[in-house]
Amino acid sequence: MDNEVTALTIIFTEFYYWVTVVFMFLIHVGFCMYEVGASRRKNHMHTLMKNTMVIPLVTVTFFFFGWWIYFAFPNGPGIIGPLLSAPWAEPWSELMGAHMGGAPADTATFTAEDTAYWARINGVFWAAFLLFSWTAASIISGSVIERIRSSAFWVVAVVIGSFAWIIDAAWGWHPDGWMIQVLGYHDAYASGVIHAIAGGAALAVLIHLGPRIGKFAPDGTPRNIVPHNPWLITVGLFLIYTGFWGFYVACNIPIIDVQDGDGVFFSATNIYLTPTTLSAITLNFLMSLAGGLMGGYLISRGDAFWTYSAGLCGVIGASAGNDLYNPLQAMVIGAIVPMICYKLHFWVERRFKIDDAVGAVAVHGYGGFLGVVVAGFMLWGYPASQKYDAIITPWGNFAGAVIMFFVLGFLPAYIVAGILKAFNKLRVPREIELVGLDLSEYAARYEDEDQMLAAEIAEARAAGTLR
Amino acid sequence: MSTGSFENWNGNVLDIGPLYPFVGTEMVWFIICVAFWLAWHVLQWRMEEANYNDDMEVLKKGDNMERALKGEKVLRSM
C-alpha cells in the first residue's frame, strides 16, 4: 500500500468482492420468498425461520472452520499430499479480524507481506465464499419444506454449508486443488461445486425424510400440492437471478498479472487463475438464462414455476464452462439441460416417490451434474490450469461430477439424515404436520388478539361507549 | 493505557496491525463462541421438543384436532 497503483488495485479488489457479497445477499432473500411462496399457509413461519437461521449458523461455523478448510485441504489431505498450513484463515488469527495491514502482532507466524495482502482481502473473500455456503444450505432447505424439523435441517445445513461444500471447493475450485491437478476438473462458476453437491445432499435427505402427507395417492400417483403464492415464488426467483450476477462476479479475481514469463498482462481470471473477462461471463450468463427460460417454457407448456426454475437451471447447466463458451453455445446448453432435468424430476418423483417440494434436486443437482459433464466434452483438451499440465477431459469432469453429487453431497447428508431419523429427530410429529407447523405460532397470535380485544372492550366500557 | 495495540494514529501507519482490542486473547473468544454455538443447538433442540409436546397435548383435547385441520381457531388454553 506504499504506492497508488498497488493501493488502488488492492482496494479495488476489496471493494469488488464487497459488492458481490451485497448482490449475493439477494439470493437468500429470494430463497426465503420462494420457499414461503411454495409452502402452504399453515407452514409459513416455520418455512421462513428454517431458512433464515441458515444465515447465522452457517456464518459462524464457516468462520470457525469452513474458511480454513478451503486453504488447508487442496491436497485431500492424503490424496496427493499433506494438510496445508493456512494461518491467515484460522479463526483465532489476527488476520480474521480488522487489521490495518501493518506490522503483524504474531511475528512468528506472519510477515509484513502476509498482513499487507490478507488484511484487505481476507474478510471480503471469506464473505464471498460464505454467501456460497448459504446458497448450498438454502438449496436443500427448499426441497424439504413442510415436514422437516428445523433442528435437524440446521445440522444438515452446517454439515453441507460449512464442511462438505468447502471440501469440494478446496479439491475442485482452488487453483492448487488435487482435482484440477489430477483430473483436469473445470467448473468455473460452480455447476458441480455448489449446485450438484447441494442437489445430491437434498436427494439424500429426501430419501430419509419421505414425502409430505398426501403427496402421493394410495395408488402412488403424485398429487400437486399447490403453492399458496405463485407471485412470491416468481419474485423470489427473480431475486435469485439478480443475486446470481454477484455469484458469477465473485467467482472471478478481478485484476492480476496473467502473463507467464516475460512481460505483464493484467486481466480478470476465473477461480483457477486462468484468464477470462467480465464481458464473457455477462454474455454467457444472459444467454444461458435466456436458453433456460425458453426451453423451460416449451417443456412445461408455459408453467410459470417451471419456466422460472428452468431459467435458473439453464444458467447452472452452462456455469461450469461459462468462462470459455461462446454465448450461442451457452444458450443451447442452457436450453437443453433444464429440459432433461424437468423430465428427470417427474420420472424420479413417480418412480421413487421422492417429494422434492421445489424441484431443487432437479434444478441444482441434475442441472449441476450435467453442467459439469457437458463442460468436459465442450472444453476437451483445454488447459485446466496455467500452473499444472492437466487438461480438461470428459472423463475428468465426469469423475468430478460424481465426486460432487455423490461423494461430497449425497453421502454425508445420507449419513447425517439417517442418524437423525434413527433417533426420530428428522421429521415433525405426524399430527403437527397435518395441522401445520405454525400451530403454536397461530395459537399465540390468537391469544394475543383475544387479550387485546378484551382490553379494548374493557376500555370502551370504562369510557361509557359500550354497555 | 489502551485496550488496543496502539494509542494514537500519528506516526507510521505501517506499524499498526490489528485494530481490535485485547490482541492475544483471540483463542479465548474462539472457545466462548464455539461453546455458544453448540449450546444454542442444544437449547433450540429442547425448545423445539417442548413446543411439539405442548402442541400435541393441545391437539388431544376435545375437538381441537378437527378444528385445527379445518383452520379454525385453536388456543393453548382450550
Q: Please check whether residue A390 is in contact with residue A419, taking contact to mean a CB–CB distance below 8 angstroms.
A: no
Q: What is the mean pLDDT of residues A195-210?
A: 98
pLDDT of residue A440: 83
Contacts of A188 (CB under 8 A, 6+ apart): A251, A270, A271, A272, A276, A319, A320, A321, A322, A323, A324
Name the pLDDT band for A7 (thresholds 50, 70, 90). confident
Q: What is the mean pLDDT of residues A374-387?
A: 96
The domain total for chain B is 1
Give me the residues paired with residue A268 across strands: A276
Q: Does B31 map to a domain?
A: yes
Give me the residues paired with residue A148 across strands: A427
Is A439's CB within 8 Å of B14's CB? no
**Buried b or exposed e, range A122-135, using 16+ CB within 10 angstroms:** bbbbbbbbbbbbbb
Residue A109 Cα, gap to closest chain B Cα (Å): 13
pLDDT of residue A237: 96
Closest C-alpha among A60, A215, A160 to residue A364: A160
Question: Contacts of residue A431 in chain B, CB cutoff 8 Å?
Answer: 55-56, 59, 65
3-state secondary structure A149-215: CHHHHHHHHHHHHHHHHHHHHHHHCCCCCHHHHHHCCCCCCCHHHHHHHHHHHHHHHHHHHCCCCCC
pLDDT of residue A36: 96
Q: A211-214, long-range: CB within 8 Å, 24+ apart, which pairs? A: A211/A353, A211/A354, A211/A355, A212/A146, A212/A147, A212/A355, A212/A357, A212/A433, A213/A147, A213/A430, A213/A433, A213/A434
Q: Does B55 map to a domain?
A: yes
pLDDT of residue B62: 86
Give me the residues paired with residue A99 across strands: B18
- Range(s) of the domain holding residue B58: 24-78
Q: What is the mean pLDDT of residues A120-131?
A: 95
Closest C-alpha among A366, A356, A364, A365 to residue A225: A356
User: Which residue among A93, A149, A431 sits closest to B65, beta carbon to beta carbon?
Assistant: A431
Q: What is the mean pLDDT of residues A349-357?
A: 96
Question: Contacts of residue A44 in chain B, CB cutoff 8 Å?
Answer: none
Name the pLDDT band for A5 (thresholds 50, 70, 90). confident
Q: What is the mean pLDDT of residues A161-170?
A: 97
Residue B9 Cα, gap to closest chain A Cα (Å): 11
pLDDT of residue A345 exceeding 90: yes
Q: State what percent of residues in chain A have pLDDT above 90.
A: 85
Residue A66 Cα, gap to closest chain B Cα (Å): 13
Residue where the block lists cell 370504562: A462
Please count the helices (runs of H) and the strands (runs of E) in chain A.
19, 3
Q: What is the mean pLDDT of residues B5-18?
A: 82
Q: Please check whether residue A3 is in contact with residue A206, taking contact to mean a CB–CB distance below 8 angstroms.
A: no
Interchain CB contact of A91 with B (< 8 Å)? yes
Residue where the block lists cell 434413527: A422
User: Which residue among A97, A154, A435 sits closest to B69, beta carbon to beta carbon?
Assistant: A435
Among A88-97, A329-338, A442-451, where is mean pLDDT lowest? A442-451
Is A443's CB within 8 Å of B34's CB? no
pLDDT of residue A446 exceeding 80: yes
Is B24's CB within 8 Å of A450's CB? no
Name the pLDDT band for A125 (thresholds 50, 70, 90). very high
Following DSSP, what letter does each residue of A309-323 receive, concatenated?
HHHHHHHHHHHTTTT
Is B41's CB within 8 Å of A103's CB? no
Question: Contacts of residue A66 in chain B, CB cutoff 8 Å?
Answer: none
Name the pLDDT band for A257 (thresholds 50, 70, 90). confident
Name the pLDDT band for A152 (thresholds 50, 70, 90). very high
Using alpha carbons, list the distances in angstroms from residue A222 to A36, A110, A140, A182, A206: 21, 59, 21, 43, 15
Is B18's CB within 8 Å of A450's CB? no
Q: What is the mean pLDDT of residues A17-25?
A: 96
Q: What is the mean pLDDT of residues A90-103?
A: 90
User: Which residue among A99, A151, A447 sits closest to B44, beta carbon to beta carbon?
Assistant: A151
Name the pLDDT band for A6 (thresholds 50, 70, 90). confident
- Residue A46: how many CA atoms within 13 Å on its side-chain side? 28
Name the pLDDT band for B78 (thresholds 50, 70, 90). low
Question: Contacts of residue A440 in chain B, CB cutoff 8 Å?
Answer: 51, 54-55, 76
Q: What is the mean pLDDT of residues A362-372?
A: 98
CATH number at A4-254+265-425: 1.10.3430.10
Mutation site for B-interface testing, chosen from A40, A49, A52, A100 by largest number of B Cβ within 10 Å: A100
pLDDT of residue A120 exceeding 90: no
pLDDT of residue A278: 92
Name the pLDDT band for A114 (thresholds 50, 70, 90). confident
Question: Contacts of residue B26 in chain A, CB cutoff 8 Å?
Answer: 91-94, 97
Using alpha carbons, list the distances in angstroms from residue A274 to A15, A118, A186, A244, B66: 21, 21, 11, 21, 63
Is B74's CB within 8 Å of A105's CB? no
Q: What is the mean pLDDT of residues A86-95?
A: 94
Q: Does B47 map to a domain?
A: yes
Is A102's CB within 8 Å of B5's CB? no
Mutation site for B-interface testing, chosen from A58, A435, A437, A446 by largest number of B Cβ within 10 Å: A435
**ipTM for the complex shown:** 0.94
Mean pLDDT of chain A: 95
Q: What is the mean pLDDT of residues A340-368?
A: 97
Mutation site for B-interface testing, chosen from A150, A439, A445, A449 by largest number of B Cβ within 10 Å: A439
Following DSSP, what letter does each residue of A118-138 receive, concatenated?
HHHHHHHHHHHHHHHHHHHHH
Cβ–Cβ pairs < 8 A, chains A and B: 109
Please count the helices (runs of H) and the strands (runs of E) in chain B.
2, 0
Name the pLDDT band for B27 (thresholds 50, 70, 90). very high
**Buried b or exposed e, range A438-459, using 16+ CB within 10 angstroms:** bbbbbbeebeeeeeeeeeeeee
pLDDT of residue A377 exceeding 70: yes
User: Which residue among A100, A151, A450 sits closest to B45, beta carbon to beta carbon?
Assistant: A151
